Amino acid sequence: QSVLTQPPSVSGAPGQTVTISCTGSSSNLGAGYDLSWYQQFPGTAPKLLIYANTNRPSGVPDRFSGSKSGTSASLAITGLQAEDEADYYCQSYDSSLRGYVFGTGTKVTVL
Amino acid sequence: VQLVESGGGLVQPGGSLKLSCAASGLTFSGSAVHWVRQASGRGLEWVGRMSSKDNTYATTYAASVKGRFTISRDDSKNTAYLQMNSLKTEDTAVYYCTRQIQEIVAAPAAIPFDYWGRGTLVTVSS
């Protein structure tokens, strides 16, 4: 029952652009709290992909980009590659819950 | 640079277990430590966090574990702990520890979870 909602799955062919949405509410994204994105491969720990809505840690390809507006945010993967097939999670803070929250997760499939 | 969790295993409902998270090669004492869990085939769930000494070692927990789980830390050993009591079958998951290098009270999500351990599996079953 996460407060951040993501589509269960998205898919695209190699080279295409896919976008993953993260929809929150007035107590998290709408309250101005920042958003991070994590990438997770099966059986491994999550890896930080985007922080503070739009920033990439060093080493993360610029094919990954984030945006945020109001109660929603998005992660775009341009020039999709086979190695991008993974689960992706958004994460923020919720003032009503007084804690950190993750999105429901999105599985990206490269066709 | 790594975080290594240990202490997972099989425990009966109602039982207790204490997980450890040992840090090496990275700044630990000034960081907040969080625990995140993931049930098999499910998404990530934030469990709780302990702040650094500068933030008075404050703790907060998810509603699902509040009153049953306790986070502690020993900065001299670069280690954090998750004491889990009154365990339920729904607590079965891989438990990850992760670091938040700095906490900004006015912007708690501004600093991400940058390093993660590989996780330790906790199975609650009779």
Are B46 and A102 in contact (CB < 8 Å)? yes
Chain B contacts in chain A segment 18-77 (CB below 8 A): 33-36, 38, 40, 44-48, 51-52, 57
Phi-psi region of B78 (alpha: psi -120 to 50; beta: other; left: phi over 0): left
Give the pLDDT of residue B27: 74
DSSP string, chain B: -EEEEE--EEE-TT--EEEEEEEESS--TTSEEEEEEE-TTS-EEEEEEE--GGGTT-EEE-TTTTTTEEEEEEGGGTEEEEEE-S--GGG-EEEEEEEES---TT-TTSS---EE---EEEEE--
> A44: which 2 tokens?
């491994």
pLDDT value at residue A3? 92
Closest residue of chain B to A54, computed from CA coordinates: B110
CB contact under 8 A, B112 and A91: yes
Residues of chain B with pLDDT under 70: none
Structure tokens at B79: 């280690």
Model pLDDT, residue A1: 64
DSSP string, A42-73: TTS--EEEEBTTTBPPTTS-TTEEEEEETTEE
Mutate to test the interface with A, among B4, B47, B113 (most CBs of A within 10 A): B113
- pLDDT, average across residues A23-48: 97
- Cβ of A105 and B114 within 8 Å? no
The residue among A102, A45, A82, A68 whose CA lies nearest residue B117 is A45
Chain A residues within an 8 Å CB radius of B37: none
Q: Which residue has the tokens 């020993």?
A: B74
Two tokens at B119? 């996780």
B75 and B23 Cβ atoms separated by less than 8 Å: no
Residues 67-96 of B with CB under 8 A from A: 96
Question: What share of chain A in percent tops pLDDT 70?
Answer: 99
**pLDDT digit string (tens) for A43-83?**
999 999 999 999 999 999 999 999 999 999 999 999 999 99
A44 contacts on B by Cβ (under 8 Å): 118
Burial B32-55 (b: 16+ CB within 10 A, else e): bbbbbbbeeeebbbbbbbbbbeee
> Cα–Cα distance between B59 and B71 in angstroms, integer?
7
Considering only the beta carbons, identify the residue of A38, A45, A99 that sits closest to B117.
A45
Looking at residue B28, its pLDDT comes to: 83
